[in-house]
Structure 1
Amino acid sequence: MLFRRHDRKAPLTRGAEWIELMLDDGPLRVAVRRHPQARRLTLRVRAAARDVTLTAPPHVPLAFAHDFVQRHREWVRVRLVRLPEPVPFADGAIIPLRGEPHRIVHRPEARGTVWIAPAQEDGEPATLNVAGDAPHLSRRVQDFLKREARHDLGPAVRRYAAALKVEVGRITLRDTASRWGSCSAQGDLSFSWRLILAPAFVLDYLAAHEVAHRLEMNHGPRYWRLVEQVCPARREAEAWLRRNGSDLHRYGGA
């Protein structure tokens, strides 16, 4: 299945609005999100969540929104079909780690959790070897990736904090769909653990990006000068994320 379908009888959140759109293989529920600053109707197919949302101004009647969605049925269908298939964390799956392909290998007889074996001379990729029972394999892989992300982000954040002469707070990892990182006014940093799937220079750039917000809580010219002062690979990393960022959300999907 290329996209997440919602059972038409599934319980809805109190106050939620939905529009049912009939596609080739059944109904799809399009979530309607009212936004006070919206000036027009905007349809969005989210690669991370593999769903469809309609952002609408508060005053737009639901019937009008319904007609808008129906008129764009083919647009929605094409974009859903183009979404890449999810790659679950399962035995035999190939996933990137620091930008390099790794094959997941279940080792039920082994002790421990997850460990890496290097690539073979015959061209076989490196492997992520996962011990334990099969029902725990996906969780163990995700936990391992989070640990690796924290292992890489911690030193990168400290290095850029020292370079910019700022202090940072705690570092948290999340699975965010719309942003790769954030910096609070108190200096706490949050990152998507999926950055560990990208090449190392991409994760390194995001560390610099968020640490620089300790001096400039905006994206003005002074802010970008600070980022490029400590991270010359900024534009290369941003270009990589534009081309490949949405693809990182396919890993670990059902």
Structure 2
Amino acid sequence: MSTSTQEALQVVWKHSTRAKRLSLRVAPHEHKLIVTLPLTCTDQQALTFVQTHQGWIEERLKKLEKTPSFSVGNTVFITGKPYLIVHAPEQKGGAWLENDCLMVSGDPAFINRRVADFLRNHATSILRKEVEAVALSTGLRPTRIDIRDTSSRWGSCSASGRIMFSWRIIMAPDLVRHYLIAHELSHLRHMNHGPLFWQQVARITPYKKQAERWLRQTGPLLLHAR
């Protein structure tokens, strides 16, 4: 199969030796629909699969239209609080918080990037302090804390004890960040999602239900914000 278009959405057909079934994924930044196919799947089966999931695709695109944009006049949430993005072309300093605004200096062409850079740096500072505070109170100490830009997960914990968080959780409310930190730190003791793991999470944070609800409803939009 070759790449085609469907209502201005580029469709990319991707054969995979690891795939056991057909699957769909919308890549919003590239405006593509990624269709992953097992090697045994025929072209007609793949096309039928996409056609029968037209409703899902349209619903997904509608949700992505609400994705936050780091551009002038829009609002960005930082630790759950809204800040209006304001362009200050004559000033210097990149981006900074001023009252209820996120001020951005310089060339308008670089505003989105400067907002993202500010959020990433702010996240690195805030999240490290928050992780260290929870680690101190629980005795669960990671070997390393990394802040990265991911579009599919909020955090992870390796067998070596290294914890990673997406810088995008700096846009989430305090209780959500606390839950995500508790979740990853709990993996230092239990590298699974069994009963003992969830008991450990519950000992650290009372926000599991509220945080998971927020992540289901709002989280996907923040993962793709730019």
Give 3-state SS (helix, strand or coil) of 2:111's partner.
Answer: helix
- Return the alpha-carbon distance in structure 1 between the equivalents of residues 174 and 17 of structure 2: 37
Partner residue in 2 for 1:164: 138
C-alpha offsets along residues 97-154 of structure 1, whole Å, 9 cap, x if unaligned? 1122111111111232222122xxxxxxx10011223233222211110111112211
Who is 1:79 aligned against? Answer: 60
Q: Which residue of 1 aligns with 2:113?
A: 139
Which SS does the other structure have where 2:103 is aligned?
A: strand
Match of 1:41 among 6, 9, 22: 22
Per-residue CA deviation, residues 215-246 of structure 1 (Å, 9 max, x unaligned), is 11101110111111011112211111111111
Q: Deviations over 1:191-210 (max 9, x none)?
A: 11110111121112111111
**What is the rounded CA distance, in whole Å, between the counterparts of 2:17 and 2:205 in structure 1?**
36
Give secondary structure in 2 for the equivalent of 1:28: strand
Aligned-pair distance for 1:61?
Answer: 2.4
Tell whether the 8 Å contact from 2:81 to 2:173 is kept in structure 1 after alignment: yes
Going from structure 1 to structure 2, the CA distance change for 1:20 and 1:167 (only over 3 Å counts) comes to same
In structure 2, distance between residues paired with 1:46 and 1:136: 23
* Pair 1:244 & 2:218 matched: yes
AA aligned opposite 1:176: T
Q: 1:247 to 1:48 in 2, by over 3 A?
A: farther
Say whether 1:103 aligns with 2:70. no
Q: What is residue 22 of structure 1 aligned with on the other side?
A: 6
The correspondence for 1:206, drawn from 180, 185, 189, is: 180
Code of the aligned partner of 1:214: L
Report the TM-score when normalising by structure 2: 0.87
Partner Cα separation in structure 1 for residue 90 and residue 120 of structure 2: 24
In 1, Cα distance between equivalents of 2:51 and 2:26: 15
Q: Any conservation in 2 of the 1:171–1:189 contact (CA below 8 Å)?
A: yes
Give CA deviations for 1:137-179 in whole Å, capped at 9, x if unaligned: 2222111101111122112211222233233122222222221
1:76-101 Cα deviation digits (max 9, x unpaired): 23432443244432222211111221
Cα separation, 2, equivalents of 1:166 and 1:70: 48
Name the amino acid aligned to 1:113: G
2:151 maps to 1:177: yes
Of residues 218, 222, 227, the one that matches 2:201 is 227
Partner Cα distance (1:182, 1:106) in 2? 35
CA distance in 1, matches of 2:89, 2:159: 46
212-221 vs 54-63, greater mean Cα deviation: 54-63
Paired residue for 1:53? 34
In 2 relative to 1, CA 33–80 (structure 1 residues): closer, same or farther, beyond 3 Å? farther
Tell me what 1:89 maps to. 70
Cα distance in 2 for partners of 1:29, 1:225 equals 43
TM-score normalised by the chain length of structure 1? 0.79
How far, CA to CA, are the matches of 1:193 and 1:144 in structure 2?
Answer: 10
Instruction: Quote the Cα distance in structure 2 between the aligned partners of 1:183 and 1:163.
Output: 19
Once the two structures are overlaid, the 10-residue window that deviates more, 197-206 or 165-174, is 165-174
Quote how far apart the aligned CAs of 1:250 are.
4.4
C-alpha displacement at 1:29, in angstroms? 1.5
- Segment drifting more, 185-194 vs 63-72: 63-72
Structure 2: 5+ residue runs without aligned partners?
none
CA contact 2:22–2:46 (8 Å) conserved in 1: yes
Give the aligned residue type for 2:93.
G
> How many residue pairs get matched?
226
- CA 1:96 to 1:21, structure 2 compared with 1: closer, same or farther past 3 Å? same
C-alpha contact 1:41 1:54 (8 A) present in aligned 2: yes
Query: What is the Cα-based RMSD across aligned positions, in Å?
Result: 2.4
Q: What per-residue deviation string (whole Å, max 9, x for no partner) do you get for residues 36-70 of structure 1? A: 352x3233445676532223333222342123223
